[in-house]
Amino acid sequence: MTQTPLQECSREIIEKKLHDHLAVIYPDKDGDKLAQKLMHVMRLDEDCQSPLPHKNLWDETDVVVITYGNTILSEKQHPLKALHHFLKTHFTMLINSVHILPFFPYSSDDGFAVVDYKQVNPKLGDWSDVLRISTDFHLMADLVINHCSAQHEWFINFQQGKSPGNDYFFTVDPNENLSGVVRPRTTPLLRAVSNGSSSKCVWCTFGHDQIDLDFRNPQVLLEMVDIIRLYLDMGVRIFRLDAVAFLWKKIGTSCINLEETHEIVRLLRSLIEYADPNAVIITETNIPNRENLSYFGNANEAHWIYNFSLPPLLVNSLVSGNCRYLKNWLMSMPPAQNGTTYFNFIASHDGIGLRPVEGLLTDDEQETLIQTMENFGGQISWRALDDGNKKPYEINISLFDALKGTTAGEDEWQIDRFICAHAIMLALEGVPAFYLHSLVGTTNDYQRMLEHGHNRAINRRQWQESELNQKLKDPTTHHHKVFYQLRHLIKLRREQPAFHPNATQFTLHLGEQIFAFWRQSINRRQSIFCLNNISDAPQTVPFSSINLIGTDRWKDLVSDQIFEDMLGSVTLQPYQTLWITNRW
């Protein structure tokens, strides 16, 4: 195929970028040869495009829904078709992106122990279903990059001493001192297995059915790039790099967030954006806040990073009635550079992580939060420490049940508190993401947790589409009330330039019961003052403390109330949200 001058220029640039990345990752390898292989696998030698640096590929209309491929079930069609139908029926023109959690054949961990990266789980559907969804929504898919299933062909070959796979997995001498390795689980790190005629210990960050790949072998990197190319062909627009912080191991270190890991993220970013300049990378790094922020790099790693500290801090504020810790955190968060932004969520398929609040919440505050969640039916998952002890890792609970009361117990404000949490998320700097179960007010699923034998199943209910639709139609159900109030807020958000993910944000200081911040559109024409009463008592705020401009007319977008007297005040009822703007 004949290359245009622009394509030739792009190719030269990406080749140089790849050579620089590879010099850090594989200093002893032939970087030129490996770069050419990567280009070929990604088909950049056929079609190479130039991404625009620091370009925002998103705006205020971007809203994501997170779901499993089989959350919505139907007797008439495969789960992916049922999901597509449900999303089109209820969220057309409201939600434009969908994260379908691993939809591949798997052996455990609800999809994150992948048996075959290149096939769709036949119980869900096939690639044609995935492609159809990607025509109506921006599709986010998981690249489960750190490990694969013990039933994957590569690991079966490893055990037989055959290729491909014989040298794809990280092995280590069990006598090595591994006490400094950071663990997200309590299971033993190493698993002894046969490798042809010998025995080796393979590295298992997350469990013995999830075997860590060895990226010290460039062939593993080539395999992953080949998988990325397939996903691009199948309509994937947003790549979620699962558990990427654990990717590179080096004996004698913590084996998390190593420089080689960051360089591999940069390399994958380069490959993906030169193949599709509109594609987005998001890193899933459930780690302390400062470490998480490092995955922005110099606007050359993740386009988006998960705001992992938001869920526990926000839940803590709403059940304690005090936003001190949430406000302190917000003031410490740097504005994202153009071309990057935060990915805001407050519920997901996993639990409410506690590592992201290390250094943000006191031990006493964490203990009170944990006890409150247990009182509301939540479960606690643990991780191992290097001294042999264990520490709470996450709280497993549906968000609707997590907000059924305060530290004093259950009360009548559950729905209001739940809506307030999402109003805050929708207004913050970044792209908002809703777990599908939050959109419909799903409660704890104790039966599923018992059947599956792990805590996370408590928040992974499967709905029959007909049953869920009936509940959403019935105005007496909490499902209906939650669903339509959230739809209203999403619609409002999508119409406000001041809610662009990269619009200006400043924290306001209105006491510990009002969590407030100011957003201003990129062109500075629209301001929105976001006031949220996070307590169970009315709170009065003088307009003079907000410092509204007296020459503008101001209106609350949520209630349509117009404010004329700038010398007056406004009273927020328990868990009420105001979006006060000068343009509507």
What's the start-to-end Cα distance of the chain, in Å?
52
Q: Is 565 annotated as a binding residue?
A: no
In angstroms, rounded to a whole number, what is the distance separating the alpha carbons of residues 272 and 409? 49
In angstroms, rounded to a whole number, what is the distance separating the alpha carbons of residues 311 and 254? 26
Q: Is 191 annotated as a binding residue?
A: no
Closest CA to 240 of 99, 126, 403: 99
- CB contact at 8 A, 390 and 546: no
Q: Is 494 annotated as a binding residue?
A: no
Report helix angle 31-41 to 5-25, nearest 10.
120
Closest CA to 218 of 28, 485, 81, 489: 28
Q: Is 242 annotated as a binding residue?
A: yes
- CB contact at 8 A, 55 and 337: no
| β-sheet with 527-533: strand ranges across | 504-508, 514-520, 527-533, 577-581, 554-556, 562-563
Q: Is 139 annotated as a binding residue?
A: no
Q: Is 241 annotated as a binding residue?
A: yes
Residue holding tokens 């033993």? 188
- CB contact at 8 A, 123 and 90: no
Q: Is 350 annotated as a binding residue?
A: yes
- CB contact at 8 A, 306 and 285: yes
Q: Is 456 annotated as a binding residue?
A: yes
Angle at 518 between CA 517 and CA 524, to 5 degrees: 165
Three-state DSSP class for residue 533: strand
- Residue 242 is among the residues annotated as catalytic for this protein: yes
- CB contact at 8 A, 148 and 213: yes
- CB contact at 8 A, 248 and 220: no
- CB contact at 8 A, 530 and 360: no
* Active-site pick, 62, 129, 142, 242: 242
Omega before 218 cis (within 30°)? no
Three-state DSSP class for residue 51: coil
Task: List residues forming the annotated binding site for substrate.
Answer: 109, 147, 240-242, 349-350, 456
Q: Which residues are catalytic?
A: 242
Tell me the binding residues: 109, 147, 240-242, 349-350, 456
